[in-house]
Structures are given as C-alpha cells and as structure tokens.
Amino acid sequence: MKKSFGNTDNVDYLLQEIDKDIIKENWDKGLEDIEKLEIAWKKVEKRVQFSVERDDLNEIILSMSRLKGSIRGMSQDECFISLEELKTYWNHLEE
C-alpha cells in the first residue's frame, strides 16, 4: 500500500532527491522537495492508515517536520540525521 501509484506519491524518489539536495547543500530545492514529500505522504497515509499503528504514522510526520526544520536551518549534519530517521520509519512501515 505504500508503493507509488504515480509521480505525486513517490515517497522513495523524494527521499532520494532530498538526500541529493542535502549533499549539494541546495536548500531551496530541499524545501521544495520536502513540500512535495509532505503532499506525497498525505496520499500514502490515506492508503496505509488502517494497516499500521497510529504511532508509526505520527513518527513519520514528526520526522518530516524535523527534516523540514533542519533544511530551513541549513544544517547539513542535522538534515542527515533527520533524513536517516525518516528513512528508517518509512522502511519499517507495514512490516
């Protein structure tokens, strides 16, 4: 259920793009991509909400918020930490 059905809900792709943005310190594109990620997540969340724990959904939302704040603060170290946390929650969703 978390797999992408199109371009607007491809969380995996957007996580990769954000990783590239952080490496290049391209903060403007990072902010654009995190906005796209939030939109994509809302679509995926609707599909998985009945098959996963509510706490798992909340952890992903909080991780995205941390990542967005780290990007806004232009802190590469914090971005990498937040991104890895978010990837961990995402990868363990529906296991």
At 79 the pLDDT is 98
At 95 the pLDDT is 54
Lookup result for tokens 């909400």: 49
Has residue 71 got a pLDDT over 70? yes
Has residue 85 got a pLDDT over 70? yes
Q: CA-CA-CA-CA torsion for 11, 30, 18, 2, nearest 10 degrees?
A: -10
What is the arithmetic mean of pLDDT over 41-60?
91
Q: Show the domains of the chain with their CATH numbers.
A: 7-92 (1.20.120.290)
Asked whether 27 and 21 are in contact (CB, 8 A), the reply is yes
Higher pLDDT, 32 or 53: 32
Structure tokens at 52: 């996963």
What is the arithmetic mean of pLDDT over 13-41?
97
User: What is the DSSP-derived secondary structure letter of residue 26?
Assistant: -
Structure tokens at 45: 């969340």
Has residue 94 got a pLDDT over 80? no
Return the percentage of the chain with pLDDT > 90, whole number. Answer: 78
At 38 the pLDDT is 97
